[in-house]
Amino acid sequence: MGLYDDTRDLHHACEAHPVGQRMSTGAITSQEWADWLWAFRKIHEVIDKHHPVSFARVPSLTFDLHELPDARPSEAATSFSEGLTLPEQIEGASYVLHGAHRRGGRVLEKTMESAGLPTSHVRYADGAAVEALIKGYRNRADLAEAARDTFACLLKVMDEIEERKESATIYNGMGAWWFPKSLRLWITVKSKTFFSEASWMRHDEGYALGRPDREVCDKKFLQAMLRDASVRDRPVVTAILALTFWACVRVAGFGSYGTNKK
């Protein structure tokens, strides 16, 4: 038996996981995608050091993450990466992650791009060399335990993301809920130049839960953005943008207030 057979059950478990299912259909949120790529990058920070520079995924994952909302760190990926010390552990993790990018990642690439989600990390400058690496590991029975541990880690990462699902539905980023997801993502990413993510996250929480009063939510949103403006290089421009966002939520935000009220 090879590593594919040794890890088949865990591989299928990842595909069948609710997060894996949302990935396969492009229904995953930009926040969930950011959290997933953060976990990948955390593991690659360790394994990239043991392969040619052309194999490194940290730069491309960092590029992709820059196009997404700020990722929430994964305890599972952090703990797992800290334990990658033995050669067989590095190789087992390399087999799973590079295989994931070259196989599943390439299959999902068009789906993710159609959803407005970045996928530069699945493209390699020397794909043939990466394929040779994966095939070289495939019949290494001594890597089975490490490969299974890596898949188990990814399942835990998916569990973490699923547990945050309620929050993911609350945090829709900058822009109205009825904006196309790609437009909201673009506005949210661009707004990082001027404002702290916490400004809109707290505002989204208040709107979803229906507390405090909508007027108070909007006032706190404006105050947070103006605090950001006061420490930016272009405070006047940032303040004008803050007032524009505030005016928009005051005029059109009534349809989103109290949507998750309990």
DSSP assignment string, 133-163: HHHHHHT-GGGHHHHHHHHHHHHHHHHHHHH
Q: How far apart are CA 112 and CA 129, in angstroms?
A: 25
Class (C level, CATH) for 3-164: mainly alpha
Report the chain (262 residues): mean pLDDT per 10 consecutive residues: 88 94 89 94 97 96 92 94 97 96 85 89 93 93 96 97 71 75 82 74 77 88 88 88 90 76 48
| End-to-end Cα distance, the chain | 52
Q: Where in the chain is the domain with CATH 1.20.910.10?
A: 3-164
pTM: 0.67
Residue 27 half-sphere exposure toward CB, CA atoms < 13 A: 9
pLDDT at 6: 92
CA nearest to 37, candidates 54, 5, 62: 62
Q: How far apart are CA 241 and CA 236, in angstroms?
A: 9
Q: How far apart are CA 218 and CA 157, in angstroms?
A: 34
